[in-house]
Structure 1
């Protein structure tokens, strides 16, 4: 008896239209599959990913908790020489030009036009808002106190300068912009734990320090004033033409940043010390390049990297 061979033929799947194929992909009533998987298959893969991501999140959270155990929210782990900031503070100036011209350092305005110089005074209003006496808010104002060389800040307290007494350079006087004699505010950048090494001995003053600043320090020292405990400030024109056009300068309330502001230790409410530089009679209609420097034995200057100094231009029409 001859074996009967059974021939089997492969039947191709039926040709389905796009909509019919998509409908069957969403729900196949013959196999009970939804989007290519049965309910049991979907349950297994969902359970797998829930467990997988839960373990992953738990591991990440545990590592983050361990990491935060090594940090103090109030004290940086790397300080001074061991930090990226280093030990050489820079200077900043206010008011800043508009954000639309972020690379500019030019302060240019027309003194006879309130709308024109109003931008600069509003910028100073916003910057100095934190320096004005305000009601206690979240305990910040409670940490601030008036200071002077005979009255440094108490432990846990910080100094609040009385900027309203700064004569020409206050809000009530529009910072003198309407008189073509603007005030530019300088601030020393904060470095945690940095303590200035003050120039209070005329025999150790650097040769490149301006002569008028040397005379000022010598006068303070001869009268045994406590104000010698200061990070000194100087502002000069960068070229001989700028020196000729810059005119007389006043430093308010004094010519530098008082030593009792240092070191910065991140005390709540801390405010960087300020110096208002009043340019009494800059030449009108002329662009003046100005460089201001902070002076201490451990502040080093580099014009190209702007270390320990700041550059800006002033033009008053």
Structure 2
């Protein structure tokens, strides 16, 4: 009598078959089957149907993911103003205390240096410094180099502030002797160094415009200058004042006379900076008329306003550089 398999025996047979050791296949044939298995017509272990399903799945998955990212980015950019930073003044990383910069700067290979060193009698020797200044001042000389410059320029003064959307001009063409045509006076061993206050969106300077209310640590010659301006000018000279001095007593002796062009500071009508089309930062050209030659002179320049703090360590409110003329 023929034996009939019970359900239990069928289950045991299926179990043993499932966990049976697979047949041993030669490595060469196994590698060949990886790329194409004629038995089940699979490629890399998947049949055409399996590749189609997984292809559709990942196409939909990454499509949805890309759409979500695109929607999030679109929503994020709707909250941004291309001309106004999201975080300003106290809320920003820059803060409310502007730094002071100088030009020209040493070559890129000496990027950490602050030494202006050249020989005034050799053109090739001072050429880097004059070329660097010419490049830096290019946007001030050529209106087309800054988008919109020339279209919304307003001739400002202390009584005429720029209307909304317009910017004040910075006319450097008449700043003798600190002009390109005069080699910025480098060939006469009396170089010009240009100062620039870093831009902080929305920052409004608090001016020292009363000679009777000046800080005790302000240089005496600057105090005298402000007092003279107060006597000769009818309007208030709302200005961020500038001073450049030798850092040490010996430096103060060797620095010689210093002139500031066009005035001794940054006029207040350039502020606040609102990233208007064509805006250019105001400049001050510092002309060192007769610095001692053959000696390194340590120079510190400071910007003066009630809300400018001076800190050499953090390089805010002031700038340091050295001058050496052979």
Corresponding position: 1:238 with 2:240: no
In structure 2, the CA distance between the partners of 1:36 and 1:11, relative to structure 1 (3 Å rule), is closer
In the other structure, the counterpart of 1:134 is: 143
Corresponding position: 1:160 with 2:169: yes
In the other structure, the counterpart of 1:223 is: 232
In structure 2, the CA distance between the partners of 1:175 and 1:136, relative to structure 1 (3 Å rule), is closer
* Contact preservation (8 Å) 1:291, 1:309: yes
In the other structure, the counterpart of 1:86 is: 95
**11, 30, 35: which is aligned to 1:26?**
35
Gaps in structure 2 of 5+ consecutive residues: 5-12
Query: C-alpha root-mean-square deviation of aligned residues, in Å?
Result: 2.3
Deviation at 1:279, TM superposition (A): 0.6
Query: What are the within-5 Å matches in structure 2 for residues 107-126 of structure 1?
Result: 107-126=116-135
C-alpha distance in 1, partners of 2:270/2:300?
24
In the other structure, the counterpart of 1:298 is: 307
In the other structure, the counterpart of 2:23 is: 12
C-alpha distance in 1, partners of 2:325/2:64?
65
C-alpha distance in 1, partners of 2:134/2:316?
27
User: Which is higher, the Rg of structure 1 or of structure 2?
Assistant: 2
- TM-score, normalised via structure 2 length: 0.90
In structure 2, the CA distance between the partners of 1:30 and 1:108, relative to structure 1 (3 Å rule), is same
* Contact preservation (8 Å) 1:146, 1:162: no
Deviation at 1:161, TM superposition (A): 1.5
Name the SS for the 1:164 alignment partner: coil
Deviation at 1:138, TM superposition (A): 5.0
Gaps in structure 1 of 5+ consecutive residues: none
Deviation at 1:98, TM superposition (A): 1.5
Deviation at 1:88, TM superposition (A): 0.9
C-alpha distance in 2, partners of 1:113/1:291?
27
* Contact preservation (8 Å) 2:100, 2:302: yes
CA deviation vs aligned residue, 1:129-165 (integer Å, no higher than 9, x gap): 1101434875343122333334432321112211110
- TM-score, normalised via structure 1 length: 0.92
C-alpha distance in 2, partners of 1:63/1:113?
60
* Contact preservation (8 Å) 2:241, 2:303: yes
Deviation at 1:21, TM superposition (A): 4.1
**73, 81, 85: which is aligned to 1:64?**
73
In structure 2, the CA distance between the partners of 1:84 and 1:129, relative to structure 1 (3 Å rule), is same
Name the SS for the 1:47 alignment partner: helix
CA deviation vs aligned residue, 1:169-228 (integer Å, no higher than 9, x gap): 011111111111111000011111111111011121000000000000001112234362
* Contact preservation (8 Å) 1:136, 1:142: no
In the other structure, the counterpart of 1:195 is: 204
Q: Aligned residue pairs: how many?
A: 315
